[in-house]
Amino acid sequence: MFCWGMKRRIPRIVCFQVFISNTFSKKYYKMAGDKKPFARLPKSVKPVLYDLFLKPDLQNFTFEGKETVSINILESTKEIILHALDLKIEEAELKDSDGLIYKPSVTLSGEDETVTLGFDKELKLGEAFLKFIFVGELNDKMKGFYRSKYVSVNESSNPVEFYSAVSMLCSTSARRMFPCWDEPALKAVFDISIVVCNTSHRALSNMPVISDTIEENGDRLLKFQKTPIMSTYLVAVVVGDFDYVEDKDSDGVLVRVYTPIGKSEQGKFALEVAKCALPYYKDYFQVAYPLPKMDLIAIADFSSGAMENWGLVTYRESCLLVDPDNTSAVRKQWIALVVGHELAHQWFGNLVTMEWWTHLWLNEGYASFVEFLCVEHLFPEYDIWTQFVTDTYIRALELDALNSSHPIEIPVGHPSEIDEIFDDISYNKGASVIRMLHNFIGDEDFRKGMNLYLNKHQYSNTFTEDLWTSLEEASNKPVKDVMSTWTLQKGFPVITVEKETQNPDGSRVISVSQTKFTANGQVDSDGLLWMVPLTFSTSRNPGIVCHKDIMSEIKKDIIIPANLISPGEWVKVNPSTVGYYRTRYSPELLNNFVPSISSRTLPPLDRLGLLDDLFALVQAGLSSTDEVLRLMLAMTDEDNYSVWSSMSNVLGKLAILLSNVEGETEQLFKQYNRILLKKISTKLGWTPQPNESHLETMLRGLIMARLVSSADPDVISEAKIKFANHLSGKENIVADLRSPIYKACLSSGDETTFNQLLQLYRGTDLHEEKDRICRAMGASKNKDILKKVLDFAMSDEVRSQDTVFVIISVGGSKVGRDLAWQFIQDNWSKLFNQYQGGFLLTRLVKNTTENFSSVEKAEEVENFFKQNGCVGAERTIQQACETIRLNAAWLKRDQEKLQNFLQKVVQK
């Protein structure tokens, strides 16, 4: 789904592995902040096949269900416990292998999300059949079996409402659609039938339809092929009105992209990506896609980006549909990545599934790595691996440096705790350490290992160690020893280059040490160590790895042979920024790289890697903020999109920090931004050039957005002209510049500007455009307008999935930060009830609180959630409050020095 030998540390790792093993055997977990132990389902009964019948009612928003579950009773028991939530069970019975029928007592527990069937006597071991009749609500929570609405225009140009019934069962919401054993290891076969009351509706599921008949009452009954054995969270059902485009891939697999009525053309890009991605993965894994069809469908109301249901992947509209005239290059690239991610799951996650949610990263981290392999193969012009570092790797490091981070593998139990680990650690750190491993063992052995893993474990469940075993067998390298240090410990090391020494024979000795990197700069008292694959390059061949080593101790001397290095050449650690660690140089050694950075002879991944490492050291108080600003002044000739993304990340974080202070520092910083951006903005201009590259198109949008944030008067003035022309129909704004132009106009506009944006919002049915406008609304500096934006966020005009991002946009500005936080407090009950147990809640909490910069505000946030609760976001709140305190320390430490530096730069 798309909302990581260590001689001394081995005993600690072994203890942690034993702990995990024991908790699995006992089936008990203890939640942070939850005093009640969590129990997995008993092993006395195992499902084999679900014969499932569903009848959604899109008039009354309810559904009826019947199922017969073929089960194996493995242990003597007088009760059967399985999952059910928000269902009314009208009838339950069990028939044993002798044909005897039992009517059990039925006890539902909302707290445990279970149904317990009680019997008068011990059940006979062996096969049995459990029948349920039940009803439920097609809810508006975007989980379980829910309703989604979109509006289309008919032939008479009148708006028409369309409702659909949609399943979103990950991670633990299958129990909301039918009684089941809702754990990933309890796989079964699903034989699904759907009754459609409106005969014009389409009904889709994981497998193709094998019969479509009209019943006596006029309803349609559609029966689907049986699925392969699979986990409950991968079951998919969609009923509603959709158009589609279709094609077959090179292996004859039928691929369809379903869209809202009238938007089938917008599915063509995703169709091309999907029909090329399936054969690519087949070739890469050397395992064929096992299902006869692959459907992708755009859903109007969807909480995450996409969900990898086997054979029927569901997507948020903006993650699947491409309008050639209105979709930006950034969004088109994102869609390619999301499609690549979900299709990778068809093998890695669906064919082979993690045993329990502790191993979620096996699904998400791996798919988040492989999506880049796929997109690099399909679209080499995207230079996607350079973007991986800015979009994935750096985000992981930023979160993982916090004390409130968590290991990639962390024992979880209750559904609320499961939802909370769908974060940058499971996805982005997971992908980053897989990338490091891929580089360590090489692509050929990596592919062999993946083939071993998939063939050995297909249609079953695995632990992380199973993956290491296959990769170790293929590569004959110590994969387990290396990777255990990265997945079972939170955080990562900083590799410090202590000194460099030239030997008489011409060789160079690089003395390095490792310690845990902490966001507050404090020394880690645990003395954690990692087994670190180290790589080196020199100024002779900056893009080539000249030497490799593995470091598992605190300090190590590494010798670069004389034939690989000459006197005066610099040595860089971690070329291409592949290793998941920070690198720290002395100011003198770092200064050696500046000429290569300025001339761009150092490869882009190394330029941005050096900048980001220095910025992390600045935030941790291990270097001064003026040092990173001085380094960026050497980068005014920079023209690489990904390097500018990293620079923009630094500038954006500093802008947020300085927006919390009074005085002239913030304005000086905006002037500094404009100095830094002048050359590249002049080079790119406003107008796309014929045949310009994909990356140049994206860079223009990025640079203009930064200039808007810096209140550049010329840019704001030109944006207003373009906005006026766009409104009048004289000349449409190109898609990649709409977001910065909308923000520019609203940041300096009035209520008229706000109303003009509202009219644009109401006049489009492209979700991407609505999303752009929503996220631009917080740019206003007018408190009264921002209050209207917050009210708009909660109105019926904004889809529930988008409300969070409108509020976040308000919280992103100096003027709106306190307004958004107060709004959340005032509306907490409603927001919590709407988004509880999902990614949107944690995202809302994180992005509206972490940009404060006082200890008092951290205490205020903590106290509010202590009093009001936030189940499923406890760790997020800890991380936000830790970040607030880090911001406060950073300002106190560097504000005066930073102001002095900026004054000197601006006065030149």
By annotation, the residues acting in catalysis are 342
Read out DSSP for 833-867?
Answer: HHHTTSHHHHHHHHHHHTT---HHHHHHHHHHHHH
What radius of gyration, in Å, describes the C-alpha atoms of the chain?
28
Decide: 313 and 306 in contact? Cβ < 8 Å: yes
623: left (phi over 0), alpha (psi -120 to 50) or beta: beta
Q: How far apart are CA 123 and CA 689, in angstroms?
A: 75
The two beta strands, 582-584 and 493-502, are: parallel
Neighbour-count burial for 162-201, b at 16+ CB within 10 Å, e otherwise: bbbbbbbbbbbbbbbbbbbbbbbbbbbebbbbbbbeeeeb
Separation in Å, CA 461 to CA 50, 187, 480, 518, 598? 19, 9, 19, 35, 50
**Residue among 543, 604, 595, 545 at smallest CA distance from 568:** 595
For residue 494, count other CB atoms closer than 10 A to its CB: 20
Distance, CA of 70 to CA of 79 (rounded, Å): 16
Rounded to whole angstroms, the Cα distance separating 628 from 618 reads: 7
Type of residue found at 823:
F
Burial 13-25 (b: 16+ CB within 10 A, else e): beebbeebeebbe
Residue 302's CB: how many other CB atoms inside 10 A? 27
In the chain, count of helices (H) and strands (E)? 29, 31
Q: What does the alpha-carbon distance between residue 815 and residue 777 come to, in Å, rounded to a whole number?
A: 13
| Cα–Cα distance for residue pair 161/154, rounded to 1 Å | 10
User: Longest Cα pair distance anywhere in the chain, in angstroms?
Assistant: 95
Helices 817-826 and 839-849: angle between axes, nearest 10 degrees: 140
Instruction: Give me the amino acid identity at 114.
Output: T
Query: What distance in Å separates the CA atoms of residue 144 and residue 177, rounded to the nearest whole number?
Result: 6
Count of beta carbons in the 10 Å neighbourhood of residue 417 = 22
Q: Verify cis geometry, omega within 30 degrees of 0, for the bond prior to 484.
A: no
Residue 320 DSSP SS3 = coil
Task: Give dist(CA 741, CA 756) in Å, integer.
Answer: 13
What is each CA distance from 290 to 246, 347, 401, in whole angstroms? 19, 9, 40
CA dihedral over 830, 835, 837, 840, signed as positive or negative: negative
Could you report how far apart the first and last alpha carbons of the chain are, in Å? 51
Nearest to 502 by CA among 586, 600, 569, 443: 569
Structure tokens at 56: 């959604």
Kind of pairing between the strands at 45-57 and 189-196: parallel
Angle, vertex CA 351, rays to CA 27 and CA 145, nearest 5: 70
Report the alpha-carbon angle 33-37-38, nearest 5.
105
E strands in 154-264 = 159-168, 189-196, 202-205, 209-214, 220-224, 237-240, 243-248, 254-259
Closest-CA residue to 670 (of 619, 616, 713): 713
